[in-house]
Structure 1
Amino acid sequence: MTSSSASSRKVPSLSLCCLSLSILSKIACNRLQKELMEWQLNPPFGFKHKLTGDNLQRWVIEVGGASGTLYADESYQLQVDFPEHYPMEAPQVIFLHPAPLHPHIYSNGHICLDILYDSWSPAMTVSSVCLSILSMLSSSPAKQRPEDNDRYVRNCKNGRSPKETRWWFHDDKV
C-alpha cells in the first residue's frame, strides 16, 4: 500500500462530504479534502489534527507551545469551522476552553488576529493560519488577557461568533 492510498482513506470522499455537509460548496469540499490530505502528509510542526469522523466542516487542532516561549510545554485546542464559501470566506477559528492567557486571546477563545477577518486571503490555508497563531503566541512578552476581556466576553453571550465583532487591529507588537 502506498502512502498516498493510505492517506486518501483517511480523507472523506467528495461525495460523502457534500452529501453529509450539504451546506459546504463543492469548491469548499474539494479545497478541504486537499488541505486535509496535505496536513496528513506534511503537518505543520507542533500541530495535530484530531479526526472527527467524516466532518470536514469542523476541525479540532491541538497546538503545542513552542520551546523557549512562555507557552512551552503547554497544549491548547483550536476549533476551526469552515463556512459554505471557504476559501473565499475565512474560517472561524477559536480556542477551546481553556484558552491561553494572551493579550490577543479572550477568555471565551476568540482571537484578535487580522488574517481571521479583514486580512483573510483565499491563498491562506489552515496550516498558514495555525502557524500565524503559533507565531502570535510565541512573540507574547506576557501572559495576560486583553484589557477589555471582561466587557467583551460579557457582550458575547449566547454564542456570538467572533466574526460578528468589529475588530480594531492596532497592536502589531504581539
Structure 2
Amino acid sequence: MKMFPKNLPEDILISILDESSDYFTLATISYYMSSNNRKYKYKNLKKQINKILLKKLNEIEEFIKHNSLKDFLLSKDFYFVHDFASSTLLFKETKEKLKEIQDQINAAHINFEENGLYNFFLDFIKEHPEPFMRWNADEKTIAREFFTNSLVQSSGY
C-alpha cells in the first residue's frame, strides 16, 4: 500500500479504520502514511490513528492490571505496543502511554530458573526492542522477505 503512487483520499482511509481497527489494518494504514511525502498530510487520519491506538493502550493497561503482564505479552495485543513504539505518527500523549507500558515490560523479572517460551520471549524483547513491523522497508526488501518466507514455508520448515 505504501508503494501506491497516488495519495488515497483521507476520508476513504478513515472509513477503513472505522470498519476495522485491528492491528493489521492500523499497521497497514500507518505504514502507508509513513512515507516521507505523506508524513505531513492526512491530519484527520493521524488523529484517528492516535485515538484508536490510545484507546487500545488504555484497554491493554486495564488488561494487565486485571490479569498479568505475562498474559499480555503472550497475546496478539502485544504487537500494538512493540511495533507502534517506533512509529513516527504518534502524538505525545500516545507516546507517553506506550512508554508506560514498555516500562512495565522492561521492569519485569525474568526467572531463568524456569524454562519456557515466556522467559525466552521476555528476554528477547528486552534485548531487541526494534519493532517487528519494518516502518521504513522499501519494495525490494518487502519482495525479498516475502520470497524468503515463501521458500521457507514451501520447504516445510
TM-score, with length taken from structure 2: 0.28
Greater relative CO, 1 or 2 (CA 8 Å, sep 6+): 2
Which one has a larger percent helix, Structure 1 or Structure 2? Answer: 2
More strand by share: 1
